[in-house]
Amino acid sequence: MPRAKMPVEPYRVKVVEPIRRISRRERKAVLKRAGFNVFNIPAEKIFIDLLTDSGTSAMSDNQWAGIMLGDESYAGARNYFHFAEAVRAIFGFPHVIPTHQGRAAERILFEAMVKKGETVPNNIHFDTTRANIEVRGGIPLDLAIEEAYDPRVELPFKGNMDVKKLDRFIRRTGPKKIPLVMMTVTNNSGGGQPASLQNIRQVSEVCRGYGVPFYFDACRFAENAYFIKKKEPGCSRKTVLKIAREMFACADGATMSAKKDALVNIGGFITLIDDDLARRLKNLLIISEGFPTYGGLAGRDLEALARGLQEVLEEDYLEHRTGQVAYLGDLLDKSGIPIYKPVGGHAVYILADEFLPHIPRHQYPGWALTVALYLEAGIRSVEIGGVMFAKDTEGRGKARYPKLELVRLAIPRRVYTVSHLNYVAEALAELYRNKDKIRGFRIVEQAPHLRHFTVRMEEI
Ligand SMILES: Cc1ncc(COP(=O)(O)O)c(C=O)c1O
């Protein structure tokens, strides 16, 4: 892995939010009360919060100024039009339907498109798309290239879909049983890796050949487009906006959690070409999210979102953003900590089963590492492994574990500085030196879907 340069922030601080490091004794008590689930820890008890990059961005002065211009009319607020214009300028689809966040967009789209027994291929489904397909009786299918599951192969576009597999699958299953194909950019559940423009075009061609709609899960489209600019031959002179437009020109629509690359704390949308489907989606939207010009958001949220979508395409910002992630990855790599390579756009992923080789998969090494990191340094991370994705680990069937057992250190946008990243790297290096003391976990209580959010655990 080439050595990462120290990223210099392309912003200066105008407002500060104090964070506090509580004592180790207090952290121990907090963990116990939380059932050893970091989702249950009050944020005030966290020092550095790398749980997610979703909804945790710092907004700019320009976005905050936009907040004051919120038009809170029930229907047709002016901010809706700013928002829809900003989305169309990038995505290019005529219909723009706001939702309160990404999973609401998914739920509504799948309610209209997916029937029982139908399959939705993706490079790798994120947990909410997976769950939203499963609750409709649909089958989420991951078709990422094989290398996506190999944390050691350093390829530029490990978020790519296996086009041959996709083609074969559609041919065998029949396009009528496939309501849509999705592509997650960047691929959050596979190391935050980008997909190339070439791969996106190939996937699009296959879908068009069979008449199957192609949608993006576009949360981190700007990070993906920036990687294309940096890594894909022939793209270095294009603007990130131009690349994003070329990506979306391949598709029929997209869902987006605006909590990522729209640099806001809440929001999402569906954008698409199909007039009839858009009408049906709006009818579904009215039942749960609200009128189609606000979709569960305030006028001020829509304004911040419109402005964030423009700011996220600034190349200084994207260079720093991806630079921060590369810098943290480099520090961990130097300490010998096993990480997924290359580092992706929004997070560093630790290979938890290699970090803790003495903890077997059924004792959830990733989970154990998230608990240890909080106890050691007040840092919150998230397990993307056995607790999040395994099937039947506590039942009578044969347990099936995901290929990778990861702990994700997601970096919120424009929030932490180099010294925060240094602190995280030092804490992990210390844990790695004393890894033999870390113990595994067993599940005490769990929910049928998305169990990681609420599961309670005990140390073995
Ligand atoms: C790839 C991907 N898709 C969908 C979602 C769901 O978005 P939200 O959390 O806004 O519902 C997320 C959230 O982390 C994500 O990373």
pLDDT at 274 over 90: yes
Backbone angles phi, psi at 261, to 5 degrees: -80, 20
The protein residue with its alpha carbon nearest to ligand 1, atom 15, reads 126
State whether the beta carbon of 257 lies less than 6 angstroms from ligand 1: yes
**Cβ atoms within 10 Å, residue 428:** 28
Largest CA distance in the chain: 61
20 C-alpha vs ligand 1 centroid, how far in Å? Answer: 28
22 C-alpha vs ligand 1 centroid, how far in Å? Answer: 30
Q: How confident is the model at residue 135 (pLDDT cuts 50, 70, 90)?
A: very high
Measured from the CA of 55, which atom of ligand 1 is nearest?
A: 10
Encode pLDDT of 212-245 as tens digits: 999 999 999 999 999 999 999 999 999 999 999 9
Is the bond into 342 cis (omega within 30 degrees of 0)?
Answer: yes
State whether the beta carbon of 387 lies less than 6 angstroms from ligand 1: no
Encode pLDDT of 162-210 as tens digits: 999 999 999 999 999 999 999 999 999 888 999 999 999 999 999 999 9
User: What is the per-residue pLDDT for 234?
Assistant: 97
Residue at 316: amino acid letter: D
Distance CA 141, CA 103 (A): 18
The protein residue with its alpha carbon nearest to ligand 1, atom 4, reads 102
Is the bond into 271 cis (omega within 30 degrees of 0)?
Answer: no
Measured from the CA of 257, which atom of ligand 1 is nearest?
A: 10
State whether the beta carbon of 320 lies less than 6 angstroms from ligand 1: no
* Best mutation site among 57, 103, 408 for ligand 1 pocket (most ligand atoms within 8 Å of CB): 103
State whether the beta carbon of 126 lies less than 6 angstroms from ligand 1: yes
pLDDT at 397 over 90: no
Give, in order, the Cα–Cα distances in Å from 456 to each of 33, 37, 439, 442.
Answer: 10, 6, 16, 9
**What percent of the residues of the chain are helix, what percent strand, and what percent coil, each to the nearest 5?**
45, 15, 40
Pick from 236, 153, 226: which is nearest to 195 by CA?
Answer: 226
The protein residue with its alpha carbon nearest to ligand 1, atom 9, reads 102
246 C-alpha vs ligand 1 centroid, how far in Å? Answer: 23
Query: What's the first-to-final CA gap in the chain, in angstroms?
Result: 36
The protein residue with its alpha carbon nearest to ligand 1, atom 8, reads 102
Encode pLDDT of 69-122 as tens digits: 999 999 999 999 999 999 999 999 999 999 999 999 999 999 999 999 999 999
State whether the beta carbon of 345 lies less than 6 angstroms from ligand 1: no
172 C-alpha vs ligand 1 centroid, how far in Å? Answer: 30
384 C-alpha vs ligand 1 centroid, how far in Å? Answer: 14
Give, in order, the Cα–Cα distances in Å from 443 to each of 41, 227, 385.
Answer: 17, 39, 14
Average pLDDT, the chain: 96
